[in-house]
Amino acid sequence: MIPVIVIFVYLAIIAFIGSIAFRQGKENTEDFFLANRSIGSMVFFLSLFATNMTAFAILGSSGMAYRQGIGIFGLMASSSCFVIPLTIFFIGTRLWALGKKFGHQTQVSFFRDRWECNHIGTVIFALSAAMLVPYMIISIMGGGTVLSEISMQNGQPLIPYAVGCAVVAVVVTLNVFFGGMRGTVWVNIFQTILFVCFGMVAVIAISHALPKTFAEYMAGLANDPKTKALVTRERIPPQTFWSYTLIPLSSIMFPHMAIMCFSARRMSAFKRTVIAYPIAIMITWLPCVFLGVLGAAALGKLSDPDGVLLRLLDTYTPVWLAGILGAGIISAVMGSDTHQVLALSTMFTKDVFVHYGGHEKFGERRSVHFARGFIVVVTIIAYLVALALKEKQGIFEIAIRYAFSGFAAMAPVMVAALFWKRSTKWGALAATLFVAFTLAGNAALQGSPQKSTPPVMAAKPATNALATIAAATNQSPNVASTNMPTAKPKEDIIWQFGQGADAVKVLSRAPNGDVRFMNNYMTVVPMVFGSAILMVLFSLVTKPPTDKTIAKYFDV
Amino acid sequence: MMKKCLLFLLITLVYTAHQDFWNWHKADPMIFGFLPIGLAYHAFYAIGCAVMMAIMVKAAWPEHLEKDKTEPPK
């Protein structure tokens, strides 16, 4: 009951913040979508971090560390420490400057102007929206599942799934509907503080209650041949480890991240952000990865590895901490969900409604009304889908997994737009269609029947609350996962050259269904390089934008 | 030009340092007694990334983008 009370207190705080933001707001799209480009330095950092790092950093990371070992930190966290600040430094600052100078509020509006195109921008919008929508749906699913699981008493949830989904949908809608970007970023401050503090508090609380010291547990894992892999990186193929450094390129291409970059008051806001970002990632992820591995030593085999952190807290800490964790999870779900809803609303209003004449016809004030109406409609649809497809969460989880590769593969388009004068709209179209085609191909390969049947220990689709949240909110594992620390699942080879030790697996499918390329490279590798090559080739053979446009964007 | 080359070298070095193949199969030494070397290395790597970004901000901040100092309407 206590976790439920803590969560409802949290929800009340969110609604309160939204109402304050509403009172400060103005009836124009610049204010509603970008808080009048007035976000200060510290708030900008906290909000950008919360937008990017969501519940996966807490629950998913510990669950993955339980299964795969400490390598998860290097795979997902430290690669992000390197790539994300650099993309914010090189791309985010330029987006901010161009947005301020020319009034762009979305990536697509910049592309349209930069490449003098119309419908090609719409194609990019459609792909971005298609990759973003599953996120929103699964956030509502995850929120509903967590609320029902956490309120379980005598096998019956105090808050049924449908009510839980409705609570999350209503609070998110109210927050975005009334608060817009201002309400969203204010909530993010609260959320990031919860995030960053949570891991350290959990480590301290658990260390006091454990029967043995951390050192003894880690030595125990290292000295047992069956578990030694958890304190090394043996379970992660080097090709996968390297491939993963491309995934964080997706970060700046996510519409909600790019739109955040337009909202800063001054460019100096980026200075603190890029320096503090790696430290914040480390503080958030390190305790959770460590606790995940510790859980393997302290708790042994778990039927639900993604729940390892909750099990540790349940076993070794007081009930109030579990309540705060619950609030942290819900806040993470809703923090990202609010940004996604707002980003979709911004994109649809600016890139479709305004672009195709809605603004001239209905005016600025009506555009805000349209945006608010869109928020309500899209959330109702997402809620209905969450109810209707409750048993098919796996579909959305896969969609999200590929969204990371998809957005990463769109990064060359952004880089070309910002840094290469000779780039053209046809290059952008070729790269976008290539990304869409490879995503569809991946989905088809993943969905095709397996040649070899995976053993019982092979990864199962995430069907529980925590796994759903993990998949719902952030960087997807995309590494072969198993339920038990010692399981060795089989992979499915789709296309191979040669035999025996010299064989090259051109296309294979990991036990969790992920498609792999050239001996364990992730599909993000050919996607990013293929997109970049097409961008260059098609740009070179097609007519560049007019000198006037090139001068507009490069003679600054 | 020299500054640009040095910064490019710095970024390349930090990127390369992420692929610490020498720690792949090692658990020891345990840093602070309980952090396996592979985990501690990447924790320090994160700090190294922050230092790299501080150097980037100091040496290569794109000041020219801030030329337009008009304040957004309140």
Number of domains present in the structure of chain B: 1
Q: Span B10-37, mean pLDDT?
A: 90
* Closest Cβ opposite residue B49 in set A70, A271, A278: A278
Q: Which stretch of DSSP H or E encloses residue A156?
A: strand A156-157
Q: Span A438-455, mean pLDDT?
A: 67
Q: Which stretch of DSSP H or E encloses residue A144?
A: helix A119-150
The whole-angstrom separation of Cα A475 and Cα A254 is 12
Q: How confident is the model at residue A180 (pLDDT cuts 50, 70, 90)?
A: confident
Q: How confident is the model at residue A202 (pLDDT cuts 50, 70, 90)?
A: confident
- Residue A269: pLDDT above 60? yes
DSSP state of A40: -
The per-residue b/e assignment along A286-320, b for 16 or more CB within 10 angstroms, e otherwise, is bbbbbbbbbbbbbeeebebbbbbbbbbbeebbeee
Q: Span A343-365, mean pLDDT?
A: 78
With respect to residue B70, please indicate whether it lies within any of the assigned structural domains: no
From A470, A329, A343, A461, select the one nearest A407 (Cα to Cα). A343
The whole-angstrom separation of Cα A63 and Cα A55 is 12
The answer to whether the pTM exceeds 0.95 is no
The per-residue b/e assignment along A501-516, b for 16 or more CB within 10 angstroms, e otherwise, is eeeebebbbbbbbbbb
Beta bridge partners of A98: none
pLDDT at A139: 76
* Contact across the interface for A218 and B68, Cβ inside 8 Å: no
Q: How far is B64 from chain A (nearest CA, A)?
A: 8
Please list every residue in chain A whose beta carbon sits closer than 8 Å to the beta carbon of residue B52.
82
With respect to residue A399, please indicate whether it lies within any of the assigned structural domains: yes
The whole-angstrom separation of Cα A52 and Cα A523 is 22
| Full domain range(s) for residue B36 | 27-59
- Residue A420: pLDDT above 90? yes
Q: Which stretch of DSSP H or E encloses residue A100?
A: helix A93-102
* Contact across the interface for B27 and A94, Cβ inside 8 Å: no
Please indicate if any CB of chain A lies within 8 Å of the CB of B28: yes
Q: How confident is the model at residue A28 (pLDDT cuts 50, 70, 90)?
A: low
Convert the pLDDT of each residue in A473-483 to its tens digit.
444 434 434 44
Both tokens assigned to B10: 């710095």
Residue A297's contacts (CB-CB under 8 Å, 6 or more residues apart) are A217, A218, A220, A221, A227
Report the residue of chain A nearest B8, measured CA to CA.
A86
Number of domains present in the structure of chain A: 1
With respect to residue A285, please indicate whether it lies within any of the assigned structural domains: yes
- Looking at chain A, the number of H-run helices and the number of E-run strands are 24, 6
Both tokens assigned to A215: 């050192």
Q: How many CB atoms lie within 10 A of CB A279?
A: 16
* Contact across the interface for A242 and B19, Cβ inside 8 Å: yes
Lowest-confidence region among A17-21, A301-305, A324-328? A324-328
| Full domain range(s) for residue A348 | 2-408
Please list every residue in chain A whose beta carbon sits closer than 8 Å to the beta carbon of residue B53.
85-86, 89, 274-275, 277-278
Q: How far is CA A136 from CA A131, A490, B40, in A?
A: 10, 33, 35
With respect to residue A186, please indicate whether it lies within any of the assigned structural domains: yes
Please list every residue in chain A whose beta carbon sits closer than 8 Å to the beta carbon of residue B64.
556
Please list every residue in chain A whose beta carbon sits closer than 8 Å to the beta carbon of residue B46.
77-78, 81, 278-279, 281-282
pLDDT at A184: 78
With respect to residue A170, please indicate whether it lies within any of the assigned structural domains: yes
Q: Span A459-464, mean pLDDT?
A: 38
* Contact across the interface for A282 and B46, Cβ inside 8 Å: yes
Q: How confident is the model at residue A25 (pLDDT cuts 50, 70, 90)?
A: low
Contact (Cβ atoms closer than 8 angstroms) between residue A34 and residue A255: no
pLDDT at A479: 40
Q: How far is A158 from chain B (nearest CA, A)?
A: 40
Please list every residue in chain B whose beta carbon sits closer than 8 Å to the beta carbon of residue A245.
15, 18
Amino acid occupying residue A352: V
Q: How far is B5 from chain A (nearest CA, A)?
A: 16
∠ CA A38-A40-A44, rounded to 5°: 105
With respect to residue B10, please indicate whether it lies within any of the assigned structural domains: no
Strands A156-157 and A492-497: unpaired
With respect to residue B9, please indicate whether it lies within any of the assigned structural domains: no
Please list every residue in chain B whose beta carbon sits closer than 8 Å to the beta carbon of residue A24.
none
Please list every residue in chain A whose beta carbon sits closer than 8 Å to the beta carbon of residue B44.
none
Both tokens assigned to A516: 């792999």
SS3 at position A497: strand
Which residue carries 């705080």 as its tokens? Answer: A13
Strands A515-517 and A504-509: antiparallel
Q: Write the CATH number for A381.
A: 1.20.1730.10
Report the residue of chain A nearest B47, measured CA to CA.
A279
Q: How confident is the model at residue B48 (pLDDT cuts 50, 70, 90)?
A: very high
* Closest Cβ opposite residue A232 in set B14, B26, B54: B26
With respect to residue A427, please indicate whether it lies within any of the assigned structural domains: no
* Contact across the interface for A86 and B53, Cβ inside 8 Å: yes
* Closest Cβ opposite residue B27 in set A97, A231, A266: A231
> Average pLDDT, whole number, for chain A?
79
Beta bridge partners of A403: none
Please list every residue in chain B whose beta carbon sits closer than 8 Å to the beta carbon of residue A82.
14-15, 18, 45, 49, 52
Instruction: Please tell me the number of Cα atoms within 13 Å of A462 on its side-chain side.
Output: 30
Contact (Cβ atoms closer than 8 angstroms) between residue A429 and residue A120: yes
- Residue A118: pLDDT above 80? yes
The whole-angstrom separation of Cα B47 and Cα B50 is 5
Please list every residue in chain B whose beta carbon sits closer than 8 Å to the beta carbon of residue A214.
33-34
- Residue A489: pLDDT above 60? no
Which residue carries 């100092």 as its tokens? Answer: B69
DSSP state of B23: G
Q: Which of A313-317, A446-450, A527-531 has the highest mean pLDDT?
A: A527-531
SS3 at position A264: strand
Amino acid occupying residue A311: R
* Contact across the interface for B21 and A290, Cβ inside 8 Å: no
SS3 at position A303: coil
How large a percentage of chain A has pLDDT more than 90?
18
* Contact across the interface for B14 and A222, Cβ inside 8 Å: no
* Closest Cβ opposite residue A37 in set B36, B39, B72: B72
Q: How far is A25 from chain B (nearest CA, A)?
A: 11
- Residue A249: pLDDT above 90? yes
With respect to residue B47, please indicate whether it lies within any of the assigned structural domains: yes
With respect to residue A447, please indicate whether it lies within any of the assigned structural domains: no
* Closest Cβ opposite residue A275 in set B41, B57, B70: B57
∠ CA A125-A128-A129, rounded to 5°: 80
Lowest-confidence region among A22-26, A420-424, B29-33? A22-26
Which residues of chain B from 55 to 74 reach within 8 Å of chain A, CB to CB?
A: 56-57, 61-62, 64-68, 70-74
- Residue A381: pLDDT above 80? yes
Report the residue of chain A nearest B65, measured CA to CA.
A97
Interface test with B, best of A78, A90, A102 (most B CBs within 10 A): A78
* Closest Cβ opposite residue B39 in set A276, A278, A289: A289
From A275, A318, A213, A214, select the one nearest A88 (Cα to Cα). A275
How large is the ipTM? 0.91
From A414, A428, A529, A349, select the one nearest A123 (Cα to Cα). A428
Both tokens assigned to A307: 């729940």
The separation between the first and the last C-alpha atoms of chain B, rounded to the nearest angstrom, is: 41
With respect to residue B45, please indicate whether it lies within any of the assigned structural domains: yes
Q: How far is CA A289 from CA A81, A95, A117, A277, A295, in A?
A: 15, 33, 46, 18, 10
Chains A–B, number of C-beta pairs less than 8 Å apart: 141
Q: How far is B13 from chain A (nearest CA, A)?
A: 11
The whole-angstrom separation of Cα A194 and Cα A348 is 31
Both tokens assigned to A326: 């619950």
Q: How far is CA A401 from CA A12, A251, A395, in A?
A: 32, 13, 10
* Contact across the interface for A278 and B47, Cβ inside 8 Å: yes
From A254, A517, A258, A532, select the one nearest A409 (Cα to Cα). A532
The whole-angstrom separation of Cα A468 and Cα A472 is 6
- Residue A247: pLDDT above 50? yes
